[in-house]
Structure 1
Amino acid sequence: MLIYKEKYKKPALVAAAVLAVMTLSACNDSDNDTTAARSSSKPKNIILMISDGASWNTWEMGAEWQAGVTANALPAYADMEVRLGMTTYPLTTSSKPTNDVNGDGLSYDAAKAWDESAATVDESDSYQTAIAGYQYLKSNYTDSAAAGTALATGHKTYNNAINYDNLGQPLAYITQLAKQAGKATGVVTSVQLSHATPAAFAAQNLSRKNMTDIARDMLTNGNLDLLMGTGNPGYDGNGSDMSALSDDECAATYACYTPYDTIGETEWTSLKAGELIPSGSSTPWTLIESKASFEALANGSLSVTGPLVGIPKVRWTLQQGREASVLGADASQPSGVKKIATVPDLPTLTQGALNYLGKNESGFFLMVEGGAVDWAAHANQADRMVEEQVDFNQALQAVEEWVAANSSWDETLLIVTTDHGNALPLGLDSDSVPYQSLTFNGAEALPAVRFWSGNHTNELVRLWARGQGSDEFNARVRGQDATFASTVGHNTEGNYVDNTDVFGVMQAALPSDE
């Protein structure tokens, strides 16, 4: 039996970076009486939702497919009281600590971001980017590790860092603090559970690449009550059972050679045996894998005592990595590919997590990531981006329905955002019409898209917030980007915060020591 009883050292609490430039009313184009009337008490529940790699148009692509409307008109977003932009740049683009507190001196410059002038094309750029603003947005971007660290700790850092600063020192993160405050804590993702974003909310490591070490930390440090994500060693990206494959079939399947790239064999064996006990717990993790178990947790028919880990029967992502050659066609899906029938979706995982965590009398912190939006964006897969964003939107709808049925907005803080943009999807003629909008064709029809990158961007991204404490964002506004407002249509004045402010708002929502 593996028992981890050594208490995890608690780093000093990290103060959020607060720059109160101005105090503003809610930024959804009107004064909000509900926000103004809400008491100053702190929320019981804090929910952060991250659509990983969602550029501003990614949200529009999902909403258009679902209902033929803009993102802000989609019911899941329509009642959001706060709508802001958010900067995401890292401290340094180095992949390791540079031991410099100032890093590379990076920032977001709105004038450069929207520069429509012609630029000299870099011949190594396969996208032949000839607009200066696009080139700027494709430079000095964060990775998911540095972005996740900023969201989870309030500190900017180097790319690759999982809750380490640029001096190589560990940083306290939000689930540590929430756990210390008596809250139940959970992390849910549609990608591998030790991938960069979920890792940033449950572990510390100098490099995101050390995934098995990160998984061990997540499962043993005692800061999580619930963890859900992919990376099941027994299955491939199509949900096929590795043990059922012939030697020849296995030889042709990469997943056969890398069963323990997400979670180590020792931890997996112990989880399967029901013997892995995290620090501070008297009971081992309960492991669920079947779609039926996730659905039972979501509909309330499954009750679990002690820490709960859910790893569906799939290796890479819940659905984004599936192949038509294995699963067949389904014209109702944006990609035209039949879904893996044995794998639960993100709304189901989210509903189950809420039911489990919601039993704690002192409330909970939950991070939900639609991680495969980013994977699809890297591959410039417009159809799979739509699928993954719709899945995320439906998970958001599940959160709102859970709050309505089991809690209230007076005791719940909900934050919805991304960690960075990716792929810069614009209109088909955006080479000659800078920042051209996408051409939409109505509900259940894919838009016409031209991508300008296969990687992350330094663009101003979108943030929504709702509920108790959401007005805290308005006191942390860093600046205004009028062109963001007029082009994206997310808010009226283009007010924006920084990604470190998300931690600041969440930390302020936790019970104080007084």
Structure 2
Amino acid sequence: MMLFPGNADRHSRFPQHFLRLTLAFFAIHLVPATTWVAGLAAAEPESGKVAAESVDESDTDAETDPMKWMQKQSIVTGKPIYGHWGTDATKFSSWTNHSNRLIPVYTYGLTLSTLREQGSVYASADRLAKLDGTPGANSVNPLALYYDQTDVYQLQKAAIEAGCTNIILIVFDGMDWQTTQAAAMYKTGRVAYESGRGTGLAFQDDRRAITDFGLVCTSAAADGAKTDVDAQRVLTLNSETNRGYDVGLGGPTPWQERINSPYLIGEDKSQPHTVTDSASSATSLCSGVKTYNGSINIALDGSYVTPLARELQRDQEFKVGVVTSVPISHATPGAAYANNVSRKDYQDIARDMVGLPSSAHRNDPLPGVDVLIGGGWGEGKKEDSVQGTNYAQGNMYFHQDDMRRVDMNHGGNYRVVQRTAGKSGRKLLMDAAQIAADNTDRLLGYFGTKGGHIPFETADGRYDPTIDVKPTEMYSEADLFENPTLADMTEAALLVLEQSIDGFWLMIEAGDVDWANHANNLDSSIGAVLSGEAAFLKVMDWVDENAAWDHTAIIVTADHGHYLVIDHPEVIAEAGRNTRRPATQGQAKP
């Protein structure tokens, strides 16, 4: 059903047509207008959050930001407009967690040829058993053309063996094929593809270097574990044998999956294959092992595994960088470098990342990364038993005393910059990065707003989130001015890391995609993809400017998917065509 009418003079005539058709849609298919307006009035705001807004025909979002308007209506009515989240097609939101969808992988400067030559691990019972121990039933598929998430680690190893000295892993946390398609449709204003790699986003279209595309399975080895964070021990595992991927239930590709099937969200009682979390999946990406949900580079048997970044740092004197839009000690950035039995032991994960003694490395601290930039600033907490007995009251993600210990101004070895009232976040960060580069210093950038992350961009680029299944965020002018963007962070990291003579390994995480998808907010999710795209373009431009394609490998992927089902792709495309937004950032180069 087409909710957005096409017309030549769309910017002048769109709002009236849109409102008339959409309100007719509500009247016929959903609920009376009085019901959904009353629902808004009944919503109770949480502390520090924005209350749900009143909605009527004069709502200016319908004219200026139709994607935001559709998102708002979907939440208010509980009925799908552009699509639904979960397995119940009659409800807008019935699932807010991860899925076992096959996940896209895009490569630049390398191909998937090494994987194709050996074939999918899922095509061989023997190889799958070596990887997965005891994979769940029906995981062996002789015709499998998809790979495993651990193969992303193998791709990085292959790039090193081929002579690459710059390895850049860009992780769009929670971005499955459907999320990518939605962002591409919105950005281009058209439904340009229904299968395959796709087109419309820079990491789909850029052809400055040899590029490839494939799919990987993300299922975890166990859905969790009981652990002792003080002793750093794994006590017991949960559902260890429910790992794997059933192509008959999940589909051979994301565009051929069984829509609204409970299998992909782990709810199929006959085949409940474990759905991964970000810790387990990031461990697979960075260390090449399958493990339990919640593990930060800890194997099923409780042993420590060494992520590739630390191997390269130890054996080849690579510099290591980690950049994220969410707290620096969250699961994905943490798995780039740290060890911990629990992803929630944030302060100790941060200690590993900056080379301080931690619960996992008490007597022999890790060297620490060379560049660490991300969120977590300002998030204080008095108590947190999950983080163990060494939890220090204060910042829950990176304690202020630990920051002081590593600050060069207090005898440490990091040039530290953090959010400062009245100061431009971008300028502070870039100035510090330039000084660090000039003096071969390490760089630590600590920013964020409420919740610990940097402000989330919305689809129209204006940082104005609307209501979703979680309380709505609102940013002040100071939040936007005093924080850098993910693209800014990427630029700063590259400025410092390019000084390395031996090479570097860099992770860039667009973590806000996951946060938006958990909230079932496609408006914010699209914005997160586009902000990650801007960071990708910073990387591509840097490689171009430094003529570094002969020794650089870039991998763009996600750690897992969610469960957005796009029912009406044309309305997302039409919203993109009719949105009044700032000029778009760089475009993909041929």
Q: How does 1:337-376 map to 2 (within 5 A)?
A: 340-376=480-516
Q: What is the aligned partner in structure 2 of residue 112 from structure 1?
A: 249
Matched, 1:157 2:291: yes
Match of 2:165 among 17, 39, 44: 44
Counterparts of 1:298 and 1:72 in 2: how far apart (Å)? 34
Q: Which amino acid in 1 is paired with 2:189?
A: G
8 Å CA contact 1:175, 1:223 repeated in 2: no
SS in 1 for 2:517: helix
8 Å CA contact 1:298, 1:349 repeated in 2: no
Match of 2:223 among 93, 105, 109: 93
Counterparts of 2:292 and 2:517 in 1: how far apart (Å)? 22
Q: How does 1:258-273 map to 2 (within 5 A)?
A: 259-271=394-406
Q: What is the aligned partner in structure 1 of residue 369 from structure 2?
A: 224
Q: How does 1:96-495 map to 2 (within 5 A)?
A: 96=226, 97=234, 103-114=240-251, 134-139=261-266, 140-180=274-314, 181-220=316-355, 221-233=366-378, 259-271=394-406, 274-275=409-410, 277=412, 284-290=413-419, 291=425, 292-296=427-431, 303-315=438-450, 316-320=452-456, 332-333=462-463, 335=465, 340-422=480-562, 424-428=563-567, 439-441=572-574, 443=576
8 Å CA contact 2:186, 2:572 repeated in 1: no
Once the two structures are TM-superposed, the CA of residue 296 in structure 1 deviates from its matched residue by 3.4
Q: Which amino acid in 2 is paired with 1:67?
A: T
Q: Which amino acid in 2 is paired with 1:163?
A: N
CA RMSD of aligned residues (A): 3.5
Q: Which amino acid in 2 is paired with 1:108?
A: Y
8 Å CA contact 1:298, 1:351 repeated in 2: no
CA gap 1:168/1:276 in 2 versus in 1, 3 angstroms: farther
When Rg is computed on C-alpha atoms for both structures, the one with the higher figure is 2
SS in 2 for 1:441: helix
Counterparts of 2:573 and 2:312 in 1: how far apart (Å)? 42
Q: Which amino acid in 1 is paired with 2:529?
A: Q
8 Å CA contact 2:182, 2:572 repeated in 1: no
Counterparts of 2:504 and 2:317 in 1: how far apart (Å)? 8
8 Å CA contact 1:148, 1:196 repeated in 2: yes
CA gap 1:285/1:272 in 2 versus in 1, 3 angstroms: closer
Counterparts of 2:405 and 2:240 in 1: how far apart (Å)? 41
Once the two structures are TM-superposed, the CA of residue 314 in structure 1 deviates from its matched residue by 3.1
SS in 1 for 2:320: strand
User: What percentage of residue pairs aligned between the two structures are identical?
Assistant: 27
Once the two structures are TM-superposed, the CA of residue 428 in structure 1 deviates from its matched residue by 3.5
SS in 2 for 1:208: coil
SS in 2 for 1:359: coil
8 Å CA contact 2:179, 2:564 repeated in 1: yes
Q: Which amino acid in 1 is paired with 2:540?
A: E
Q: Which amino acid in 2 is paired with 1:148?
A: A
Which structure has the highest helix share of the two?
Answer: 2
Counterparts of 2:430 and 2:263 in 1: how far apart (Å)? 45
SS in 2 for 1:92: coil
Report the TM-score when normalising by structure 2.
0.55
- After superposition, the C-alpha distances for 1:317-348 in whole angstroms (9 at most, x for unaligned) are 111399xxxxxxx9845737667221110011
Counterparts of 2:371 and 2:461 in 1: how far apart (Å)? 35
Once the two structures are TM-superposed, the CA of residue 114 in structure 1 deviates from its matched residue by 3.8
8 Å CA contact 1:296, 1:302 repeated in 2: no
8 Å CA contact 1:145, 1:196 repeated in 2: yes
Q: Which amino acid in 2 is paired with 1:42?
A: G
Report the TM-score when normalising by structure 1.
0.63
Once the two structures are TM-superposed, the CA of residue 272 in structure 1 deviates from its matched residue by 5.3
Once the two structures are TM-superposed, the CA of residue 111 in structure 1 deviates from its matched residue by 1.5
SS in 2 for 1:107: coil
Once the two structures are TM-superposed, the CA of residue 41 in structure 1 deviates from its matched residue by 3.9
8 Å CA contact 2:325, 2:454 repeated in 1: yes
CA gap 1:445/1:303 in 2 versus in 1, 3 angstroms: farther
Once the two structures are TM-superposed, the CA of residue 442 in structure 1 deviates from its matched residue by 5.4
8 Å CA contact 1:49, 1:368 repeated in 2: yes
Once the two structures are TM-superposed, the CA of residue 306 in structure 1 deviates from its matched residue by 2.1
Q: What is the aligned partner in structure 2 of residue 54 from structure 1?
A: 175
Once the two structures are TM-superposed, the CA of residue 386 in structure 1 deviates from its matched residue by 1.2
CA gap 1:344/1:445 in 2 versus in 1, 3 angstroms: farther
**Relative contact order: is structure 1 or structure 2 higher (C-alpha 8 Å, sep ≥ 6)?**
1
- After superposition, the C-alpha distances for 1:94-146 in whole angstroms (9 at most, x for unaligned) are 2344778993151112220149xxxxxxxxxxxxxxx7753111012100000
- After superposition, the C-alpha distances for 1:184-205 in whole angstroms (9 at most, x for unaligned) are 1101000000000000011000
Counterparts of 1:44 and 1:134 in 2: how far apart (Å)? 43
CA gap 1:39/1:161 in 2 versus in 1, 3 angstroms: closer
Match of 1:75 among 180, 202, 206: 202
Counterparts of 1:93 and 1:223 in 2: how far apart (Å)? 29
SS in 1 for 2:454: coil
Counterparts of 2:434 and 2:571 in 1: how far apart (Å)? 38
8 Å CA contact 2:491, 2:538 repeated in 1: yes
CA gap 1:267/1:333 in 2 versus in 1, 3 angstroms: closer
CA gap 1:297/1:350 in 2 versus in 1, 3 angstroms: farther
Aligned length: 362
SS in 2 for 1:421: coil
SS in 2 for 1:187: strand
Structure 2 residue runs without a partner (length 5+): 1-113, 121-144, 146-158, 193-197, 227-233, 253-257, 267-273, 356-365, 382-391, 420-424, 467-473, 580-590
CA gap 1:297/1:441 in 2 versus in 1, 3 angstroms: farther
CA gap 1:77/1:114 in 2 versus in 1, 3 angstroms: closer
Once the two structures are TM-superposed, the CA of residue 213 in structure 1 deviates from its matched residue by 1.0
SS in 1 for 2:396: coil
Once the two structures are TM-superposed, the CA of residue 427 in structure 1 deviates from its matched residue by 2.2
Counterparts of 2:457 and 2:556 in 1: how far apart (Å)? 24
Q: Which amino acid in 2 is paired with 1:92?
A: A
- After superposition, the C-alpha distances for 1:425-449 in whole angstroms (9 at most, x for unaligned) are 12237xxxxxx88742153658xxx
SS in 2 for 1:296: helix
Q: Which amino acid in 2 is paired with 1:81?
A: T
Q: Which amino acid in 2 is paired with 1:311?
A: Y
